Structure 1
Amino acid sequence: MAYSGDVTTGGAADVRELDDLTITKVSVGPMDNNAYLLRCRSTGEQVLIDAANEAPRLLELIGDAGLSSVVTTHEHMDHWVALEEVVATTGARSLVHGADAEGLPIPSEHLADGDTVRVGDRELEVIHLVGHTPGSIALLYRDPNGIPHLFTGDSLFPGGVGNTHEDPAAFASLIDDVQTKLFDRLPDETWFYPGHGADSTLGAERPKLPEWRARGW
């Protein structure tokens, strides 16, 4: 079956096979968090985006191929409940933006805007998006043979940017970063994968940007 990105907590994972990378999306409870396992098809190296919860389930997904890194998109606890166990079991590096590092339960290597995270022969670009948290990041994979793929954490969802807790300054920062660093840089066909719920494309969401700005959330 073709990849849809529609997953449910406790349900089956959805797998997307690109020429050079395999993306496996799974939802874990209790807060319907998405975790994404990326595997380089030439080397077998794997990276996990957000060890959100249900460590045994994530470890089963990782399997015997091992794990090189876990990237945490931001410091909120629902995105790292399984981090300590996954790292302890696999020996993977823990990576997070420096501004959110103190919010994690284990010492982690610091990422910054413009850094790259290797997935075997492929790489992800780190994009810093300030507002949902000080150190929130998105991860961009530019497929040389297809569309861009963007993992947005809780900074961008279908229907709006992430929660800024009615803080006008935080909202202004986030909507500006999302527009200038994502929508202004990347084409409509860019597929994005959020921290909760269904996927979307930048093209589907682009017409709504003025509405999001006007409503303030």
Structure 2
Amino acid sequence: MAGAPRVEHLVTSGTFSLDGGTWDVENNVWIIGDDDEVVVIDAAHDSDAVLEAVGDRRLSAVVCTHAHDDHVRAAPDVALATGAPVLLHPDDQVLWKMTHPNRRPDGPLADGDEIVVAGIGLRVLHTPGHAPGAVCLYAPDLGALFSGDTLFAGGPGATGRSYSDFGTIITSIGERLLTLPGETVVHTGHGDTTTVEAEAPHLEEWAARGW
């Protein structure tokens, strides 16, 4: 028996670099599947830790919510060790090449795509703003959203650096994420988990602040 599909959580540590600055960060790595098959969302920093968490299960894909270096640095090594494809929205190629100039992702992500693992679907939602090719993954069967750096507990992802735009991320959150069922659990790229219900009342406040 493969067991019920579930969400597993790993935290890895490293740095994020862009626009000439470097910051220490901790990233959430999400593993979705059962005892036989999983996908990894954001292979961040430490390929050995990700591979240990996957164990002897079949890894069907390494899904990148966006291509900032902290989220994709370990992706090629995880793919090489497992044979799994690295999937990225094409609009983030410019960021991917900053970290991996000699290695392309294996396949594209497009809005509306469905990635199936352990009998459940992960629906791709293109949510630009934090990065042009940022995506979230919605798993209605799990009541879960994997938001990358688009939506956090308490506010939207940062938009003060290259290839980001505040108005765009607010539109993405309002039209694509906060329209999901309120009880949807939001598993973020950094920090604490939240829910759509907890974040939805604050959209106008964020927009007014120019968060």
Q: TM-score, normalised by structure 2?
A: 0.86
> Does 2:93 correspond to 1:96?
no
> Does 2:199 correspond to 1:215?
no
Give, as a single letter, the amino acid of the residue that structure 2 aligns with 1:22: R
Segments of 5+ residues of structure 1 without an aligned counterpart are 1-18
Segments of 5+ residues of structure 2 without an aligned counterpart are 15-24
1:1-217 equivalent positions in 2, closer than 5 A: 20-30=4-14, 31-40=25-34, 44-104=36-96, 105=100, 106-108=103-105, 109-143=107-141, 148-165=143-160, 170-184=165-179, 186-217=180-211
8 Å Cα contact 1:161/1:174 also seen in 2: yes
Partners of 2:69 and 2:160 in 1: how far apart? 16
Q: 1:110 to 1:166 in 2, by over 3 A?
A: closer
Give, as a single letter, the amino acid of the residue that structure 2 aligns with 1:65: R
Give CA-to-partner distance per residue, 1:115-142, whole Å, 9 cap, x none: 1112131110000011111000000001
8 Å Cα contact 1:40/1:121 also seen in 2: no
Deviation for aligned residue 1:176:
0.9
- Name the structure 2 match of 1:16: none
- Name the structure 2 match of 1:15: none
Give CA-to-partner distance per residue, 1:2-22, whole Å, 9 cap, x none: xxxxxxxxxxxxxxxxx8411
8 Å Cα contact 2:47/2:78 also seen in 1: yes
Deviation for aligned residue 1:54:
1.2
Q: Secondary structure at the match of 1:100?
A: helix
Q: Secondary structure at the match of 1:57?
A: helix
8 Å Cα contact 1:149/1:192 also seen in 2: yes
Give, as a single letter, the amino acid of the residue that structure 2 aligns with 1:101: Q
Q: Secondary structure at the match of 2:45?
A: coil
Partners of 2:114 and 2:104 in 1: how far apart? 19
Q: TM-score, normalised by structure 1?
A: 0.84
Partners of 2:62 and 2:174 in 1: how far apart? 27
8 Å Cα contact 2:42/2:65 also seen in 1: yes
| RMSD (Å), alpha carbons | 1.7
8 Å Cα contact 1:101/1:110 also seen in 2: no
Deviation for aligned residue 1:188:
1.1
Partners of 2:136 and 2:126 in 1: how far apart? 7
Partners of 1:139 and 1:33 in 2: how far apart? 17
Partners of 2:65 and 2:161 in 1: how far apart? 21
Deviation for aligned residue 1:166:
7.2
Using the TM superposition, name which of 193-202 and 100-109 deviates more.
Answer: 100-109
Give structure 1 regions of 4+ aligned residues with deviation exceeding 3 angstroms: none
